[in-house]
Amino acid sequence: MAKIVFKHPQSLKENIYHYCPGCGHSIVHRLVAEVIDEMGIRGITIGVPPAGCAVLAYNYFDVDMIEAPHGRGPAMASAIKRCLPDRVVFSYQGDGDLAAIGIAESLHAANRGENITVIFINNAVYGMTGGQMAPTTLLNQRTTTSPAGRKKELDGHPVKVSEIFSQLGGTTYIERCSVSSPAGVNKTKKAIRKAFQCQIDGLGFSMVEILSLCPTNWKMSSIDSCKWIDDVLSKEFPPGIYKDNIAEAKNTAEAAP
Amino acid sequence: MNKVLMSGNNVIAEAAIRAGCRFYAGYPITPQNELTEYMAEHMRNAESGVFIQSESEVAAINMIAGAAATGVRVMTSSSSPGISLKQEGISSMAACELPGIIVNIMRGGPGLGNIRPSQGDYFQATRGGGHGDYRTIVIAPATGQELADLTMDAFDLADKYRTPVMILADGMMGQMMEPVIFKKPTPRQYPEKFMLRGAGTGKSKFIRGLLLDPIDSEEHNWKLARKYEVITKNETLHEEHRVDDADLVIVAYGTAARIAKGAIKRLRDHGMKVGLFRPITLWPFPELKLRALSAKVKDYLVFEMSTGQMLEDVRLALQGYANIEFHGRPGGAVPTPAELANVVAKIYDRKD
- Please tell me the predicted confidence (pLDDT) of residue A141: 98
pLDDT at B228 over 90: yes
CB–CB of A58 and B63 under 8 A? no
Q: Which range has the worst mean pLDDT, A247-256, B27-36, B78-87, B104-113?
A: A247-256
User: Distance from B152 to chain A by nearest Cα, in Å?
Assistant: 21
What value of ipTM does the predicted structure carry? 0.96
Confidence of residue B2 (pLDDT cuts 50, 70, 90): confident
Contact between A64 and B25 using a beta-carbon 8 Å cutoff: no
Whether residue A254 is predicted with pLDDT greater than 90 in this model: the reply is no
pLDDT number for residue A6: 87
Measured distance CA(A148)–CA(A146) in Å, rounded: 5
* Backbone CA torsion sign across B59, B188, A83, A91: negative
Q: Provide the residue range defining the domain that includes A215.
A: 24-255
The partner residue sitting opposite A42, judged by closest CB among B63, B92, B199, is B199
Residue B60 to chain A, least CA–CA distance (Å): 8
State the pLDDT at residue B352. Answer: 59
Number of domains present in the structure of chain A: 1
pLDDT tens-digit series, residues A213-228: 999 999 999 999 999 9
State whether residue A22 is helix, strand or coil: coil
| CA torsion through residues A70, A74, A78, A80, sign | positive
- Compute the nearest-CA separation of B308 from chain A (Å): 33
Asked whether residue A114 is domain-assigned, the answer is: yes
Single pTM value for the model:
0.97
Q: Is residue A16 domain-resident?
A: no
What are the tens digits of pLDDT across the range B24-81?
999 999 999 999 999 999 999 999 999 999 999 999 999 999 999 999 999 999 999 9
Residue from B98, B206, B213 whose CB has the most chain A CBs within 10 Å, to mutate:
B206
Helix/strand/coil (H, E, C) string of B192-233?
HHHCCCCCCCCCCCEECCCCCCHHHHHHHHHHHHHHHHHHHH
Task: Give me the amino acid identity at A94.
Answer: G
| Residue A91 scores a pLDDT above 80 | yes
Q: Mind spelling out the 3-state secondary structure of B159-193?
A: HHHCCEEEEEEEHHHHHCEEEECCCCCCCCCCCHH
Which CATH number fits the domain that encloses residue A185? 3.40.50.970
Residue of A nearest to B65 (CA): A76
Give the mean pLDDT of B238-243.
Answer: 98
Does residue B193 belong to the interface with chain A, where contact is any CB pair within 8 Å?
no
The minimum CA-CA distance between A77 and chain B, rounded to whole Å, is 7
The per-residue pLDDT for B329 is 97
Contact check, Cβ <8 Å, B96/A80: no
B146's enclosing H/E stretch is helix B144-161
Continuous H helices in chain A: 24-39, 73-83, 95-96, 103-111, 152-155, 161-165, 182-200, 215-218, 222-228, 234-236, 246-255
Residue A174 lies in a domain: yes
B13 close to A (CB below 8 A) = no
Flag whether A170 is in a domain. Answer: yes
Domains in chain B: ranges and CATH: 4-234 (3.40.50.970), 239-351 (3.40.50.920)
Is B70 close to A80, i.e. CB distance below 8 A?
Answer: yes
For residues A65 and A48, the answer to whether their CB atoms sit within 8 Å is yes
Which one of A32, A53, A83 makes the best mutation probe of the B interface by having the most chain B beta carbons within 10 Å? A83
Contact B58 A45 (CB under 8 A): no
Residue B7 DSSP SS3: strand
pLDDT tens track for B276-297: 999 999 999 999 999 999 999 9
Determine which of A14, A45, A46 to mutate to test the interface with B (most B C-beta atoms within 10 Å).
A46
Q: Using an 8 Å Cβ cutoff, are B79 and B50 in contact?
A: no
The answer to whether the Cβ–Cβ distance between B59 and A108 falls below 8 Å is yes
CA dist A206 → A46, A51, A243 (Å): 15, 21, 9
Q: How confident is the model at residue A5 (pLDDT cuts 50, 70, 90)?
A: confident
Q: Could you tell me if residue A11 is inside a domain?
A: no
pLDDT at B128: 81
pLDDT at B351 over 80: no
Flag whether A1 is in a domain: no
Domain assignment present for A3: no
Residues of A in contact with B92 (CB under 8 A): 69
Structural domain includes residue A196 = yes
What pLDDT does B275 receive?
98
Touching check for B204 and chain A: CB below 8 Å? Answer: yes
> Do residue B204 and residue A65 have CB atoms under 8 angstroms apart?
yes
